[in-house]
């Protein structure tokens, strides 16, 4: 599948260079073919890059994998997967979590590793914990980004406030009942 898109991309590059060089006549099918190729390339699925991955292996061989992708939003920042065995085909998505999942003060895979390793069960303890930050600059940028930069809606409420000087000029006399 990937080689097909590579071939399409190379074909479109050849057409563009031929058009720029002027070797293609204006009434040829090259323009129509280029439009079809660009439409096919736009529809190609783009797999997001994994920026960081945390892997927890339990005694029974089941792995819990937490990933951060390059296109992460605030509410689906961490992707939790469960994998049984060594085949990647057994990897299934459990849930997505927001960036505050590790904790409000310490967000990141390190905090999630501590949180998940605290849930030790006697029958199935955590055997190995592996944290791999594959793209350090992108990971730091995502962790330190403001929530509105990650797609969280920013809302503000403007309430009309009257000046307090107007309230202080009036004297409020409260009659005391004796």
* pLDDT, tens only, 31-84: 677 777 777 667 666 677 899 999 999 888 899 999 999 988 888 899 999 999
Could you state, in order of their start, the residue ranges of all structural domains in the chain? 2-42, 50-150
Pick the closest to residue 51 from 146, 148, 143 (CA basis).
143
b/e sequence 23-37, b meaning 16+ C-beta within 10 Å: ebeeeeebeeebeeb
Helix (H, G, I), strand (E, B) or coil at 12: helix
Q: What is the pLDDT of residues 139-178, one digit of tens each?
A: 999 988 888 888 887 777 777 766 555 555 555 555 555 4
pTM assigned to the model: 0.62
Q: Which helix (H) or strand (E) holds 55?
A: strand 50-58
* Planar angle of CA 31, 33, 37, nearest 5 degrees: 115
């Amino acid at each position: 599948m990937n080689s097909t898109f590579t071939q399409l991309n190379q074909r479109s590059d050849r057409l563009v260079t031929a058009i720029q060089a002027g070797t293609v006549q204006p009434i040829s099918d090259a323009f129509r073919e280029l439009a079809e190729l660009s439409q096919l390339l736009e529809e190609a699925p783009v797999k997001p890059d994994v920026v960081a991955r945390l892997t927890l292996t339990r005694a029974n061989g089941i792995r819990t994998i937490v990933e951060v992708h390059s296109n992460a939003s605030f509410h689906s920042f961490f992707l939790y997967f469960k994998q049984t065995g060594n085949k990647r085909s057994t990897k299934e998505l459990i849930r997505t979590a927001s960036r505050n999942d590790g904790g409000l003060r310490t967000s990141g895979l390190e905090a999630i590793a501590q949180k998940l390793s605290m849930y030790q069960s006697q029958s199935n303890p955590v055997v190995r914990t592996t944290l791999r930050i594959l793209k350090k600059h992108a990971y730091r940028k995502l962790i330190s980004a403001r929530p509105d930069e990650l797609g969280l809606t920013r809302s503000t409420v403007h309430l009309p406030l009257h000046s307090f000087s107007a309230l202080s000029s009036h004297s409020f006399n409260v009659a005391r009942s004796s």
